[in-house]
Structures are given as C-alpha cells and as structure tokens.
Structure 1
C-alpha cells in the first residue's frame, strides 16, 4: 500500500519571530509529494488565543490537533505527518498510541528534547513542550487520553536542552542516544528493543541534522547527525520493527531557492521512511 502523507502547515507552536517559514517549509515539501496520497490539514490563519491557560496560541493548537486526528482516523495504515512545527507530532503520536494499544516506542530525533512544561520553558513555545505533553504532563486539553510511557521513549541526537528538561530526563531515566551513538544503526535498534515495544513511531525534527547539511533550520545546533546516518538508522528500524507512524517537522526555508537546495535531503529521508 502506498504511503499516506498528512501535511500540517502549523506554525503556531513555534516561538520564533519567523515562525511562518515553517508553514512555507511544509508547503514546499508538499509540492514534491504525490497528490493522490497526500491529505492537507487546514491550519487557521490567526495565531489563536491562550484560553486562560497561559499557553500562547492554545486555541489554534487544539483546533489543529483535532483536525489532524480526524484526518488520521480515515487512514487505513500508518501515515507520515509533515509539519510545520513539532507540535504536529502531538496528534500523530496520539493516533499511533491508540492504533497500537500503547505497544509502540517513540524515537524522537531532535536537537532539543521538547520536554519543557509551561513553568520550565524559557520561551513558552509549545514546540518545546510537545514530548512532555505526550508523556501526560501538559495543558489538559492537549494531553492524550493514553499518554506515552517514559520507558517507551528514546531521545536521539539531542544536544541542546534546558535545565528543567535535564532534570526530568535524569529523574525518569529516559533512554538517550548521542550523535556519535547514531553512527551505528545497531545501537538504535537495541535501544528500541530495550523498551519492549513491538512497533516504532519515528519523529524527525530536521534540526537533528548538522546545520552544514541543511540550510532551512530555524534553530540550528552544531555537530548534528549526517543525513546518511539518519537514513541508515531509519532503515534499520524499519527492518526490525513495524512502523506505527512517523513525522517530519522543522523545515524553515528562508526562500524558495533555499527550499530547493534542501529538498533532495528531505526527500531522501522521506524515501527511507516510506520504502517498502
């Protein structure tokens, strides 16, 4: 069965002053996807209200989450969700948890762990709270009915975190793989095997890559993963586990020319995720 792509050009989860570039990035990727197997989630134009929660743009974030879940509910198999900011993974991981009855490990490829709460976040941007929300510790309307268990999570390629995130990782003993670890696909497979899960969800924030490999990153962090290592890791995971879902986020090109330069790398990653 051909892969289904769900494009969610959400920007409201970002704290960047250039957040709208994330919407442009999602649309740029969409232009290279097969139209017949691509579905688009409508994202409101407005930023959205915090609805008394303290979380900026909560109204829009909740609306997009609900719309994405509705689209995913009509997909017969797993889907590749394309953002936008990392907040698009909220609905996609929630959907994978429901589909598998929780029997899924989440591999979070990201330069940042996205494990802040509203209280610990320096920016109050939801993109830095997505994973913590999926673990059940977030703004009530956004927390999944069946949260992800910390023992089913593997952080991969993280190299920039806040103090509150470091404390949480230490307290929960969440599994981590460094950039050097990711040079060996077997280490990635072993980390997922240690979770005991029968399937895997792969989330890729493109800033896990080294900035020298991709121009369109809104929050680049030096010394990242190479595209070759990332692709090899994805292929190894697919060779060992069933794929319960996947997401790619964080493409923030400054111009159409920059997007064109980066798209071959992104399409290579998409190809690894969707290959039979």
Structure 2
C-alpha cells in the first residue's frame, strides 16, 4: 500500500462543465483503501456565469480556495486527490510544491495537455487549463499561489490531443512530452522522466486510456494507452521513484465500463488492498449531464 497523510475528495464538475464527473470522486473513494485521514472538500454544488472566457469561473475559483483551506489545515506531505475534474490538481500540486520546492516533479498522465489559457481555449472549460496555471499563473492574478512549477519540473505522458496553442507552448518552453504511441511501445520510459531524487506527483486523468479499454471518462479520446501499458508504466515508476502525491480525475462511473481496468490501475498505485473483479456501472442517462466537448 502507498502510505499518505491525507486523502481529499473534491467533487467538482464545473471545470469540465459536465455534471457526470461529480460522482467520480465518490466512486473512486469507494474503490480505494483510505489513507491516514480522508476529507471531502466542501466545494460549490452549482455553477456560475461565464466570466473572462471561462465557464463557471467563480465556482471553479471558490472550489480552489476551499481545497486550499483544507490542505493548509492538514498540511499533508503525501497526498491523494480524488476528483472531479482536472482543476482539482491546481491546489494539490501547489501545496506539495510548497513542501518540496524544486524537488517536486509532476507527471501529467493525460490525453490532453491542459495547457490552454482563457484566450486560447476552444471551449472555455477550465479543466483544459490547470497545468498552464501551475506553470504560468492566472492571467489576472486571482490565484497568486497557483504559479509554482517551472518547465523542467513537468513531463506530459500519454498525450495525444493538443490544441494549436498548446503545441506552440510545448515547443516554446521545451516541455518533455512522451506521447501515447511511444509510451505504448516502451512503458518503462515513464520511470525515466523524473530526475534522480525527485518527489513525484502523478496526475492521472483516466482519459489517458484508450476508449476501447476504458470509456467511462468525460472526454474519451482515441489512440490512448492499453490497460496493460498503464499498469506497467506505473509499476516501473513506483519501483524507481518516491511518489509524494497522486491525483485521479475525470471518471464518469455512470457509463458502462470494465471496472477491473480501473481496479488494476488503482492497485498498481498502491491504493487498494485487493483487486476486485466485476463490471462497472451501467449508463443511466444521468440527469443534467452535458455532452463532452473540447478542452
């Protein structure tokens, strides 16, 4: 088992503008063995008007501040974050950056780069912006603590769907990128990305998996990893590095899926005491769900 000080459940949906992911945090919590302490962050339940090119901007910022307050109160050195959408990673990574400074290295395991700004985003959804916030901060300074990473502290893995502005950002800042095809051929290369002695944060958006293996995500994206590739890469990573944080996001448990795929990934990360077989939830036409869109 992976030992940590705190689990935070952050049932946000506003960053994805998709009510279905709200249930993902609770479902993930039911599948994982609790750490020393488990807290549900009191995030807003409703949405808010678009503002500054971002859907539900005020609600997203309110959730960030609520999560930041929980982390400041508990001061974890090892942290599990169960979302919700990918915006939950901003507060968690920023907190651990305060603990580990330049030793922190973030593996962004995701189909998407999440490197957009409000101006560059095709959709205006905030879950396509968290890594850019961590690298550059908020354009109007509303989240002063979010800017905590340098390009050398980040690697993107499994990525296969970047918007043009994100491609330019990766090129201009020379970000390390291990795309899905290359990772599929050499899963152990994930362990080669963090430098020796790094304190590693693993961001795992479940859409890094190919939809044929795991379709229960907010933005299913073809060309992804097989379940075997994901488990092999995570096994290699944990064998060679100190993992101080894990964030898992964008799970839509209402959609039919093979739950064993998720159980295998959670088990590889040391988050379950035993692997459970069985099928996932059946799509019930969740009330209020929106159609997944661009990031």
* Structure 1 partner of 2:290: none
CA drift at 1:165: 0.6
Matched residue SS, 1:142: coil
* Structure 2 partner of 1:8: 10
TM-score by length of 1: 0.88
CA drift at 1:71: 2.4
TM-score by length of 2: 0.82
Q: Distance in 1 between matches of 2:105 and 2:190?
A: 12
Q: Distance in 2 between matches of 1:72 and 1:273?
A: 22
* Structure 1 partner of 2:282: none
Matched residue SS, 2:201: strand
What is the RMSD computed on CA atoms of the aligned residues? 2.2
Q: Distance in 1 between matches of 2:114 and 2:15?
A: 11
Is residue 27 of structure 1 aligned with residue 15 of structure 2? no
Q: Paired residue for 1:192, among 191, 194, 212?
A: 194
* Structure 2 partner of 1:234: 234
CA contact (8 A) 1:134 1:143 kept: no
Unpaired segments of 5 or more residues in structure 2? Answer: 274-295
Is residue 57 of structure 1 aligned with residue 56 of structure 2? yes
* Structure 2 partner of 1:273: 269
Q: Distance in 2 between matches of 1:37 and 1:273?
A: 18
Matched residue SS, 2:180: coil
CA drift at 1:75: 4.9
Q: Distance in 1 between matches of 2:237 and 2:223?
A: 23
Q: Distance in 2 between matches of 1:9 and 1:149?
A: 28
* Structure 2 partner of 1:71: 70
For these two proteins, the number of residue pairs brought into alignment is 266
Change (3 A) 1:72 1:270: farther
Map residues 162-177 of structure 1 onto 2, 5 A cutoff. Answer: 162-177=163-178
Structure (1 or 2) with the greater helix fraction: 1
Q: Distance in 2 between matches of 1:177 and 1:262?
A: 26
Is residue 108 of structure 1 aligned with residue 104 of structure 2? no
Q: Deviations 1:96-130 (Å, cap 9, x if unpaired)?
A: 11110231111101111011111111111110111
Map residues 137-148 of structure 1 onto 2, 5 A cutoff. Answer: 137-139=137-139, 140-144=141-145, 146-148=147-149
Change (3 A) 1:108 1:145: closer
Change (3 A) 1:76 1:171: closer
* Structure 1 partner of 2:153: 152
CA contact (8 A) 1:113 1:131 kept: yes
CA contact (8 A) 1:6 1:39 kept: yes
CA drift at 1:168: 0.7
Q: Distance in 2 between matches of 1:90 and 1:40?
A: 16
Change (3 A) 1:72 1:211: same
Q: Distance in 2 between matches of 1:76 and 1:130?
A: 21
Unpaired segments of 5 or more residues in structure 1? Answer: none
Q: Distance in 2 between matches of 1:202 and 1:122?
A: 26
Change (3 A) 1:143 1:211: farther
Is residue 201 of structure 1 aligned with residue 197 of structure 2? no
* Structure 1 partner of 2:280: none
